[in-house]
């Protein structure tokens, strides 16, 4: 690190220096802002709006895990978001109708009878279980079938996007049971609590904020575990991981399932907060919107997807009010600018400035030698915390944070680094050579 950092105050040095202290400091700051500051300064309307954005951020956290860490470009998370949302919406409609009652829209468009597959949602406990189980099961089956056939990259993205389109079309065509284009709306209560009561709506916000924080901490713990190393290794060198005796399919499927469950929980909480769910919220366009927020925030960081998703959603709401016809163009321009100049998101900015400052302090030493964050020999960016919160890991995101650094054509790391004879047959040693171990 350059000598300029010694002039920073102690608290600033702790926040800016990559490591566990910075992670916990940022987590405490986020909890303070979300759980204390926001309810104190925002009006009920703005707080409800922020709660909706936090639900979308839950989807972004899962995408950050699957895409940023696992390299799976998921363009169809709207399916899992919609599954969780519609399951919760069915329960709320049945609860409002009362025991044995029929939702109002079924009396208008349907036969006046509740379909058999709606009945399990009369139970609150069953609904909560189904919100998690149904998307997880779908992701497990789909992920196993796709990843076992080594479908990846653009093919996986197109496949997931087609699934989102088919799901939206299915919902539109089933007006008698899903409300069709209008969707499900007009909810009056949430597990017995009146949704018109401002106190209950603030509790809903706190529930969404607390759930999001738990998800972020869970992903951080996951990425600092042995599984996190495997996931990054599969993203960077899948064939090499398979050669070492691990099953990349299981590693990728687990991340895909976790991302699906996060999206479903976000959808389930979105319904009572927004008061509506429709095919327009789960189709192709919303699925791409989820991805844009993650890309703008920084897909390989821990907090980047959350911040990017919230900022994009907030900007969409604000600009749509003033320029309803231009938001899509603005969103596309913002995405192009970020991908062109900061492909790792704003978190990359700190690493870029640090490298430039290091190059200024050591002219002529060469980029790798001047930048203490870049090992001169390996050409691989140091990843102090691949679970997120690091700018260095996001400096190379051409095809994935680590892939751009290593390249498919690079010689095998094991052969280049020359492992000791005692560790030559140790899979753990080879895995550590494939991807850096998180501190």
Per-residue confidence (pLDDT) for residue 273, from 0 to 100: 94
Give the up-direction half-sphere exposure of residue 105: CA atoms within 13 A in the CB hemisphere.
Answer: 19
Overall average pLDDT of the 322-330 stretch: 73
In a domain, 419, yes or no: no
pLDDT at 293: 84
For residue 430, pLDDT over 60 is answered with no
Tokens matching residue 122: 């009369």
pLDDT at 382 over 50: no
Q: Is the dihedral of CA 81, 212, 302, 297 positive or negative?
A: positive
Q: Answer for the pair 60, 308: CB distance below 8 angstroms, yes or no.
A: yes
Of 372 and 176, more confident:
176
* pLDDT exceeds 70 at position 10: no
**Confidence grade of residue 428 (pLDDT, cut at 50, 70, 90):** low
CA distance 434 to 439: 16
Closest C-alpha among 254, 298, 302, 267 to residue 30: 302
Task: Give the pLDDT mean for 359-375.
Answer: 45
User: Do residues 241 and 248 touch, judged by C-beta distance below 8 A?
Assistant: yes
Q: Count of domains in the chain?
A: 1
Cα separation of 130 and 87, whole Å?
7
Angle CA 301–302–305, to nearest 5: 80
Q: How does pLDDT run across 148-159, given as a tens digit for each residue?
A: 888 878 888 888
d(CA 341, CA 266): 31
412 in a structural domain: no
Backbone angles phi, psi at 92, to 5 degrees: -65, -40
Residue 142 has pLDDT above 60, yes or no: yes
CA distance 13 to 10: 5
What is residue 413's predicted lDDT score, i.e. its pLDDT?
A: 39
**Percent of the chain residues past pLDDT 70, beyond the cut:** 73
Residue 325 lies in a domain: yes
> How do residues 31-48 score in pLDDT, each as one tens digit?
888 888 989 899 888 899
**Which residue has better confidence, 433 or 78?**
78
Note whether residue 308 is domain-resident: yes
pLDDT of residue 12: 62
Asked whether 66 and 74 are in contact (CB, 8 A), the reply is yes
Neighbours of 337 (CB within 10 A): 11
pLDDT at 135 over 90: yes
Q: Does residue 138 fall inside a structural domain?
A: yes
Q: Is 21 a member of any domain?
A: no
pLDDT of residue 110: 72
Q: Is residue 258 part of a domain?
A: yes
- Asked, for residue 413, whether it belongs to a domain, the answer is no
The pLDDT of residue 63 is 93
Q: 308 lies in which domain range? A: 48-345
Q: Specify the DSSP element, H or E, that contains 189.
A: strand 189-190
For the purposes of burial, counting CB atoms within 10 Å of the CB of 296, is it exposed (0-12), middle (13-18) or buried (19 or more)?
Answer: buried
pLDDT reading at 400 higher than 50:
no
For residues 186 and 111, which has the higher predicted lDDT (pLDDT)? Answer: 186
Determine the Cα–Cα distance for residues 178 and 277; give it in Å rounded to an integer: 10
Cα torsion angle, 341, 344, 346, 348, sign: negative
Task: Tell me the pLDDT tens digit for each residue of 79-129.
Answer: 999 999 999 999 999 999 888 888 888 888 777 788 889 999 999 999 999
**Measured distance CA(207)–CA(408) in Å, rounded:** 44
Q: Is the pLDDT higher at 334 or at 194?
A: 194
Q: Is 222 exposed, middle or buried (0-12, 13-18, 19+ CB in 10 A)?
A: middle
H or E segment and range at residue 65? none
Residue 239 has pLDDT above 70, yes or no: yes
């Amino acid at each position: 690190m350059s000598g300029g950092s010694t002039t920073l105050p102690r608290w600033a040095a702790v926040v800016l220096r990559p490591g566990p202290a910075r992670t916990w400091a940022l987590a405490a700051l986020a909890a303070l802002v979300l759980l204390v500051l926001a309810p104190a300064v925002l009006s009920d309307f703005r707080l409800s709006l922020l709660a909706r954005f936090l639900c979308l951020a839950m989807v972004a956290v899962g995408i950050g895990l699957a895409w940023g860490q696992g390299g799976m470009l998921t363009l169809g998370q709207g399916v899992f978001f919609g599954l969780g949302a519609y399951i919760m919406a069915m329960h709320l409609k049945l609860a409002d109708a009362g025991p044995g009652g029929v939702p109002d829209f079924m009396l208008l468009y349907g036969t006046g009878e509740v379909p058999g597959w709606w009945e399990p949602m009369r139970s609150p406990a069953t609904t909560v279980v189904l919100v998690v189980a149904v998307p997880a099961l779908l992701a497990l089956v789909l992920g196993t079938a796709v990843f076992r056939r080594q479908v990846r990259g653009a093919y996986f993205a197109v496949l997931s996007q087609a699934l989102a389109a088919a799901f939206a079309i299915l919902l539109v065509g089933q007006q008698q049971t899903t409300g069709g284009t209008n969707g499900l709306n007009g909810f009056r209560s949430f597990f017995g609590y009146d949704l018109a009561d401002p106190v209950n709506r603030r509790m809903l916000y706190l529930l969404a904020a607390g759930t999001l924080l738990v998800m972020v901490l869970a992903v951080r713990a996951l990425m600092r575990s042995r599984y996190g190393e495997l996931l990054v290794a599969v993203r960077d060198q899948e064939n090499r991981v398979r050669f070492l005796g691990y099953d990349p399919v299981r590693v990728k499927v687990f991340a895909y399932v976790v991302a699906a469950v996060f999206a479903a929980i976000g959808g389930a909480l979105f319904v009572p907060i927004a008061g509506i769910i429709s095919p327009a919220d789960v189709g192709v366009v919303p699925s791409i919107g989820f991805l844009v927020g993650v890309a703008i925030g920084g897909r390989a960081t821990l907090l980047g997807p959350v911040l990017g998703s919230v900022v994009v959603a907030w900007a969409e709401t604000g600009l749509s009010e003033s320029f309803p016809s231009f938001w899509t163009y603005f969103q596309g321009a913002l995405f192009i600018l970020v991908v062109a100049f900061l492909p790792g998101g704003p978190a990359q900015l700190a690493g870029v400035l640090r490298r430039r400052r290091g190059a200024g302090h050591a002219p002529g030493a060469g980029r790798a030698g001047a930048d203490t964050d870049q090992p001169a020999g390996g050409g691989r960016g140091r990843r102090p915390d691949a679970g997120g919160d690091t700018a260095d890991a996001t400096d190379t995101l051409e095809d994935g944070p680590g892939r751009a650094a290593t390249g498919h054509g690079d010689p095998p790391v094991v052969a280049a680094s020359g492992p000791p004879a005692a560790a030559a047959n140790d899979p753990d040693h080879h895995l550590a050579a494939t991807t850096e171990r998180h501190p």
